[in-house]
Chains A and B, each alone.
Chain A
């Protein structure tokens, strides 16, 4: 069955440090992949998406993600974290509307 796994429930990084959030997927073919961010009390906002082509995808707010087929991964990265990046991050993937799956989320805390 298709699934999306985010192994890290909670990550803490210092402001200015680099960030990598992990996402692994299990799917029969290459799925469409997404990263969303959710601030407290808000809905989800799309950071970036991968459909095909270049495996390094640029998104908003300085985020990027790399699709690695051999590792079934789509990790999110940012070179220098800002305090405003503290939020919950969700990876999602699937091939159709009905088989889109979300990971459980990774909560990011940013230390001053």
Chain B
């Protein structure tokens, strides 16, 4: 019973490098989300998807891109990493919008 799986769990990037975070869910959920968690700020929504082939901007989308080519996967890309993107990133999924969300274990990203 995997639920929501994120890879990698940890990553260190140099400023200007690019990377992709992968999120996979096995619950056949329509909605998927990417959040970032920063100390003292709770979680903030970066991008989300309401179904395969769709993406939409959240609260803090700048500097990130996403793709949902398959229903079970939601990729988060950083084209040119900046120190301000140092954070813990969480992927989540839900059956519908504004219902219980199921979270992955997070990816701790450090940009130096």
Q: Which residues of A contact B (CB under 8 A)?
A: 4, 9, 32, 34, 41-46, 49, 90, 92, 94-98, 100-105
A102, B100: Cα distance in complex, Å: 14
Cβ of B56 under 8 Å from chain A:
yes
Q: Give A45 to B48 CA distance when docked, in angstroms.
A: 19
| B residues apposed to A, CB below 8 Å | 4, 31, 33, 40-45, 48, 50, 56, 58-59, 90, 92, 97-98, 100-106
Contact (Cβ within 8 A) B43 A102: yes
Quote the shortest CB–CB distance from B4 to chain A (angstroms).
7
Which of B31, B92, B98, B105: most chain A Cβ within 10 A?
B98
> Does A103 contact B31, Cβ atoms closer than 8 Å?
no
CB of B98 within 8 A of CB of A44, answer no
Q: Which residues of B contact A103 (CB under 8 A)?
A: 42
Shortest Cβ distance from A31 into B: residue = B98
